[in-house]
């Protein structure tokens, strides 16, 4: 799993982008993930299995802190 910094403090997993500094560890995104692709580690959201992610957007929709969002979709081209 390749990770790269998108902007300062962001971790890009390809399908998902996480801002650990914004995450307060509430676990709402983890609870709403229908495929269990996310987990909590040290009170922050982490990607447990990026291959399971279907980019449904439930994590982004439910996160009260905007700490996670869906990255570029499989069929999207870079601008």
Exposure on the CB side of residue 9, measured as CA atoms within 13 A: 7
- Is residue 29 situated within a structural domain? yes
42: domain CATH number is: 3.30.70.20
Question: Percentage helix, strand, coil, to 5, in the chain?
Answer: 20, 25, 55
- Is residue 8 situated within a structural domain? yes
Q: What is the pLDDT along the chain (79 residues), one digit of tens a residue?
A: 445 545 667 888 889 999 999 999 999 999 999 999 999 999 999 999 999 999 999 999 999 999 999 986 555 555 5
Range of the domain at 25: 4-70
- Is residue 78 situated within a structural domain? no
Output the pLDDT for position 74. Answer: 53
Output the pLDDT for position 1. Answer: 43
Output the pLDDT for position 76. Answer: 55
């Amino acid at each position: 799993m390749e990770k790269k910094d998108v902007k300062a403090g962001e971790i890009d997993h390809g399908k998902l982008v996480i801002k650990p500094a914004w995450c307060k560890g509430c676990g709402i995104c983890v609870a709403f993930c229908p495929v269990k692709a996310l987990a909590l580690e040290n009170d922050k959201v982490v990607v447990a299995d990026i291959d399971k992610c279907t980019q449904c957007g439930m994590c982004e929709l439910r996160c009260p802190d905007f700490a996670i969002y869906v990255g570029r979709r499989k069929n999207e081209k870079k601008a």
